[in-house]
């Protein structure tokens, strides 16, 4: 199996770095930011794919909607991320790496895994 980890675009700005999406149906990198790439799935690569995604960006229209409750009339094509993106990516990366390692290597003590990542 392949584990594919990708950044996602969130429709709700309140979900940025606060949720993790896990699926066995694969992933289409870039689709959330209108930059669709080839699908990574069992259908396309021949082995099971576990996709892990974390929302790291949202579009300006989603922010406007969350503030006003009204859908914007135009699409700016602008995507934004929190100013603390580097720190937040570091934290979520550590959480995901520890979780995946503990799941895939249950015989290794969690303290040892924590020291490795």
Q: Are 55 and 10 in contact (CB under 8 A)?
A: yes
pLDDT tens by residue, 62-105: 888 888 988 888 888 889 999 999 999 999 999 999 999 999 99
Whether the full predicted model's pTM is greater than 0.85, yes or no, is no
Q: Token digits for 90?
A: 């570091």
Confidence of residue 21 (pLDDT cuts 50, 70, 90): very high
Give residue limits of the domains in the chain. 1-82, 83-117
């Amino acid at each position: 199996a392949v584990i594919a980890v990708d950044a996602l675009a969130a429709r709700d700005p309140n979900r940025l770095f606060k949720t993790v999406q896990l699926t066995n149906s694969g992933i289409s990198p870039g689709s959330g930011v209108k930059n669709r790439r080839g699908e990574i799935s069992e259908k396309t690569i021949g082995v099971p794919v576990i996709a892990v995604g974390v929302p790291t960006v949202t579009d300006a229209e989603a922010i406007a909607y969350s503030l006003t409750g009204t859908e914007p009339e135009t699409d700016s094509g602008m995507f934004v991320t929190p100013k603390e993106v580097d720190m937040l990516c570091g934290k979520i990366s550590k959480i995901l790496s520890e979780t995946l390692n503990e799941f895939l290597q249950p015989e290794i003590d969690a303290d040892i895994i924590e020291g490795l990542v």
